Structure 1
Amino acid sequence: MVIELKNVHWKRQNKSILKNINWAVEEGEHWVLLGLNGSGKTTLLKMINGYIWPTTGEIRVLGKQFGKYPLGELRKIIGWVSTAMQEKLHGEEYTENIVLSGKFASPKLYHDPEQEDIDRALSLMEEYGLSGFIHRPYASLSQGEKQKVLIVRALMASPKLLILDEPCTGLDVFAREQLLETVEQLGKQKDAPTLIYVTHHIEEILPVFSKTLMLRQGEVFKTGRTEELVTESQLSDFFEAPLPKRAFYLSQCNHP
């Protein structure tokens, strides 16, 4: 199992934020974590990364049980991409150095990298269409370009699990489509890490994500095959409101 949560609860100031979470992700699966703002998605991600601890319940990530394995070591093989991460990076760094820093899970390069790491960074940048950004400051890139760089940066450490936390936030329609194409490209690779794509926009759910977890008010609403859950009736029940026709139409464009 890549992720295994059993009866996980998390409380803050006597308020239950996550309640009775049971979730299993197997190797080779790519999942969407779907939920509205305030549903507990970010809290769940922080727990999977070991930044917060369950009040009760058991967590295993990549076969390692929390409490019996150094979380610092575990985080080295978990990639996490989010818009908020951009604020932690040094914008004046060259883009290739931002990518290289992913090998060391640090916001910048503190040591001279090995030639092998340099070659891998340049190879990944070429593979994902970023060669044109070499020797360009990270701050000079567009929001969408920065997000693509963060994905490639995460791949530097050869993660077994890659979490994409609402990566399309703030992107225009063209940048969003380009980023989604990058995610689809990654997910189709034979040696791809297990992907967890977090969103509240159903139109971002790509065919590569065959499984979906629906999280509502801190509880698992349903888990299962995406094609069975991303339907008008299921989504209306999940959101507790009639689904806007335009949103459903756009989601079906990704799942003909």
Structure 2
Amino acid sequence: MCEEHRPIEGSPDVAEVGTETDGRGGETVVALRDVGVHRHTNSQVILSGIDWTVRAGEHWALLGANGAGKTTLLRLLGALMHPTTGSVEVLGSRLGRVDVRELRARIGHVSTAQRVPQDLDVHGVVLTGHTGTVQPLWRKYDGEVRRRGHELLAELDIKELADRPYGVCSGGQRARVLIARALMAEPALLLLDEPFNALDLPSREDLVEAMQRLADSRPELATVTVTHHLEELSPAVGHTLLLREGRVLAQGPVDDTLTDSWMTGCFGRRITVVRHGGRWAAYSGSHLGS
């Protein structure tokens, strides 16, 4: 067994990957087959042998230590880069055989690193999701588009912020504004790159509740959320993919993957996972081998 495949003491054998789907058999939104990404400058392997399927209506958490390859994997799903090896199909289109600009318009992407004009009002920020631009293109936003922007703000429970400058909104409010912006294009796939970053407890809970409402109101929407904390997962998250050193350690329903042994194997520390009322928490003891 190669070094990068060797299971950590206390974790299941890496080959015993969890069940991939819960049997709902929804339409395939993402299909990765034997995907690898190598850094050309020094031949560093960032991702290797990734097989993964995301179906309509599924909500996935993407977990792994820093440097595990989460950001690179999310960039593949967002059609922001191409794999070095293997195939990536997103919304029925294979990367390398499709105009990625058109494909990106059908994918919602939320990141706290997104460039947003700080002095633009919240409703204007949401409208830019219609054109996929940083700055608003006002002539492109007719009455119907503007109405939809207000509806999305209401759906995310922030309609009172419509006229407030984005730059003075709190971190939790900004996160929900960016989700509303991403939903303007009616995406079938929503990618969330650490949307809870630096949020306080009330803001985190507001966002968790917002994600739960989205799952309830949009049954066909698939989401993938990158996070470092299980407490940030809404009860709607039903699947997990665990990455370790650029490889899939485990994937499948949360009941099979968010376990002490799999999380221990993923992060290299003895981790205890707790579930209560549909919410998750994790804490760690001493480092393995210490």
Same fold (TM over 0.5): yes
The equivalent of 1:73 in structure 2 is 102
- Provide the rounded CA distance (Å) in 2 between the counterparts of 1:25 and 1:204: 20
CA-to-aligned-CA distance 1:5-38 (integer Å, 9 cap, x gap): 1111111121100011111111221111111211
Matches within 5 A, 1:76-225: 76-85=105-114, 88-112=115-139, 113-225=141-253
Contact 1:9 1:57 in 2 (8 A): yes
User: Normalized per residue, which structure has more helix?
Assistant: 1
Report SS of the residue matched to 2:147: helix
- Provide the rounded CA distance (Å) in 2 between the counterparts of 1:176 and 1:55: 36
Contact 2:69 2:246 in 1 (8 A): yes
Return 5+ residue gaps in structure 1 as ranges: none
Alignment-mate amino acid for residue 122 of structure 2: T
Aligned length: 250
Contact 2:250 2:262 in 1 (8 A): no
**Pairwise CA RMSD:** 1.5
CA-to-aligned-CA distance 1:88-108 (integer Å, 9 cap, x gap): 110101110001110111112
Q: Higher Cα Rg: structure 1 or 2?
A: 2
CA-to-aligned-CA distance 1:177-232 (integer Å, 9 cap, x gap): 11111111111224452111111212222221111111111100011111121122
Report SS of the residue matched to 1:208: coil
**What is the aligned counterpart of 1:254 among 255, 278, 283?**
278
Alignment-mate amino acid for residue 51 of structure 2: N
Structure 1 runs (4+) greater than 6 angstroms displaced: none
**What is the aligned counterpart of 1:23 among 47, 52, 55?**
52
Contact 1:186 1:192 in 2 (8 A): no
User: Normalized per residue, which structure has more strand?
Assistant: 2
1:2 aligns with 2:29: yes
Alignment-mate amino acid for residue 211 of structure 2: V
The equivalent of 2:265 in structure 1 is 237
Alignment-mate amino acid for residue 94 of structure 1: D
Return 5+ residue gaps in structure 2 as ranges: 1-27, 281-290
TM-score where L is the length of structure 2? 0.82
